[in-house]
Amino acid sequence: MIMKLDKEQKRVLKAVWPCTLAFILGYPLIYWIRGKADWKEALILFAGGLVVAVLMTVFYVLGSKIPKNDNEDSVQ
């Protein structure tokens, strides 16, 4: 099942994508460089960041859905 994205959702997805990648890769990398995490912990941070980033992206895209007005033809 593929969800069709409207113009606003595509715009939000393009805006969120770089931040998502930076969060997934940057957070564990910085911990590892600073010596606060070994490889195992960095991979755990990577997996956790991936889950959080995917959830946030889904919520942003679904939240930007603009509902269609079913009563466009009716005049008030």
Over residues 22-45, the pLDDT tens digits come to 877 887 788 778 887 777 877 787
Average pLDDT rounded to a whole number, residues 46-63:
82
Instruction: Determine, yes or no, domain membership for 75.
Output: no
Q: How many CB atoms lie within 10 A of CB 33?
A: 10
- Which of the given ranges, 2-6, 42-46, 52-56, has the highest pLDDT on average? 52-56
* Number of domains forming the structure of the chain: 1
> What's the confidence (pLDDT) of residue 73?
52
> Would residue 32 count as lying in a domain?
yes
DSSP state of 33: H
Residue 68 lies in a domain: no
Q: Per-residue pLDDT for 74 more than 60?
A: no
pTM over 0.85: no
pLDDT at 56 over 80: yes
Tell me the residue length of the chain: 76
d(CA 31, CA 53): 18
Q: Is residue 1 part of a domain?
A: no
Which domain range does residue 42 map to? 7-63
Helices (H), the chain: 7-33, 39-63
Half-sphere exposure of 41 (CA within 13 A, CB side): 11
